[in-house]
Amino acid sequence: MKILMTTDTLGGVWSYCMSLCAALKPHGVHVVLATMGRALSLEQRKQVDQLDNVDVHESTWRLCWMEEPWHDVARAGDWLLSLARRYRPDIIQLNDLGHGDLAWPAPVVMVGHSCVLSWWDAVKKQSAPRAWHEYRERVSASLKNADLIVAPTHAMSKALAHHYGPFNRLYPAPSVIYNGSNFPALADSPTDKFNQAEPLIFAAGRLWDEAKNIAALSSIAADVPWPVYVAGEVDQPNGKGKAPDNLHCLGFLHNTEMARWLARASIYIAPARYEPFGLAILEAARAGCALVLGDIESLREVWGEAAEYVDPDNPAELRRVVNQLIDDPQRRQQLSALAWDTAQSYFAEQMANDYIKAYEALVNPAVFTRPRSVASLSGMPI
């Protein structure tokens, strides 16, 4: 099977695609990977070079969630269609929301990793302003033309259906395929991790993104006895950005460095206001960190009882919970074990198996026939 897959190079979607492409290899899947957003970093080039089932095609077209993107979105669409004509894929998998309504020659799987409208709801506690009206219309048309819509959690599925649905009269909501990762290497045991971990707190994410809520960590860092280290880019895509106070900012970390910091950290904090899945949290759990997370629906769905939860808008609660964990090694060890155990529900191989089921249904002539407008599979259960 051959798949034309889009990705951006700016955040978690790239990590998701690397995990998925690697896990699809044993299934005989070849991926034509089309990148957008900005040029690949040296680290990203090394990652994709290790995947011999992937051909990468690079661009720097702006994505639909960026400022004034629509000229670039149109040019990117022409480029993507040219790749489809050249490679004749069996499946188109779009990991952005801007290109579903093109004249694709094959069934389209669109993955809603996040969206601007649900971001505004969660972060700003209000509807997106009129400036995002065109985004709403374009994304709605894009999603309605996809043959299968996938979300990484039920919470994100509901958000997409709320803002852009229904997509199909029989299946009005996207299907759910949980993300998975094999990075970093799973800690040998939570007990070993607990005995070897250092008295430090770690976090990761785009420091400029209000959804990640790194500012909450900055506001309490002076009031906790352990140092707080944060990995992530300070600058926004437009070049603006300022490092938060009271934190040890490490900047962008390559995988080897990230794994080293996760192995050292006792507590991982993600006081997110908006996080449709949270691959960085999964990586921390695989390393055996105790988790302190924002009390939002998606994170409760993924982690259940394996974390402490705090109101993202209540720094005093975050300070209290963190200090209690520092003072209670038994509870830290319990949370470490629960996170490590729960992380094993989210292996990359399981994610790939679920996508293979979806792909095979779409390429089955008995299920999928032309034209797409007649045989839409949006929201098809898998």
Instruction: Break the chain into its structural domains and give their ranges.
Output: 2-180+347-363, 190-343
CATH of domain 190-343: 3.40.50.2000
- Helix, strand, or coil here: 40? coil
Contact, 117 vs 128, CB < 8 A? yes
Q: 73-87, pLDDT tens digit by residue?
A: 999 999 999 999 999
Q: 291-325, pLDDT tens digit by residue?
A: 999 999 999 999 999 999 999 999 999 999 999 99
Give dist(CA 291, CA 225) in Å, integer.
17
Please give the structure tokens belonging to residue 373.
């407008």
Give dist(CA 206, CA 296) in Å, integer.
19
Please, what's the b/e burial string for 110-127 (b: 16 or more CB within 10 A of its CB; e: otherwise)? bbbbbbbbbbbbbbeeee
- Domain range 2-180+347-363, its CATH number among 3.40.50.2000, 3.30.1180.20, 3.40.640.10, 3.30.450.20: 3.40.50.2000
Q: What angle do CA 243, 246, 248 make, to 5 degrees?
A: 70
* pLDDT tens, per residue, the chain with 382 residues: 999 999 999 889 999 999 999 999 999 999 999 999 999 999 999 999 999 999 999 999 999 999 899 999 999 999 999 999 999 999 999 999 999 999 999 999 999 999 999 999 999 999 999 999 999 999 999 999 999 999 999 999 999 999 998 886 555 678 999 999 999 999 999 999 999 999 999 999 988 899 999 999 999 999 999 999 999 988 766 666 677 778 999 998 999 999 999 999 999 999 999 999 999 999 999 999 999 999 999 999 999 999 999 999 999 999 999 999 999 999 999 999 999 999 999 999 999 999 999 999 999 866 655 444 333 333 333 3
Mention every residue, 6+ apart, whose C-beta is less than 8 A from residue 221.
228, 245, 246, 247
Q: 99-119, pLDDT tens digit by residue?
A: 999 999 999 999 999 999 999
Residue ranges with strand state E in the chain: 2-8, 30-36, 54-58, 91-94, 108-111, 148-151, 175-176, 201-204, 228-231, 248-251, 267-270, 290-294, 308-310
Tell me the whole-structure pTM to 2 decimals: 0.93
The pLDDT of residue 374: 32
- Helix, strand, or coil here: 367? coil
Contact, 357 vs 29, CB < 8 A? no
| 2-180+347-363 and 190-343 agree in CATH topology | yes
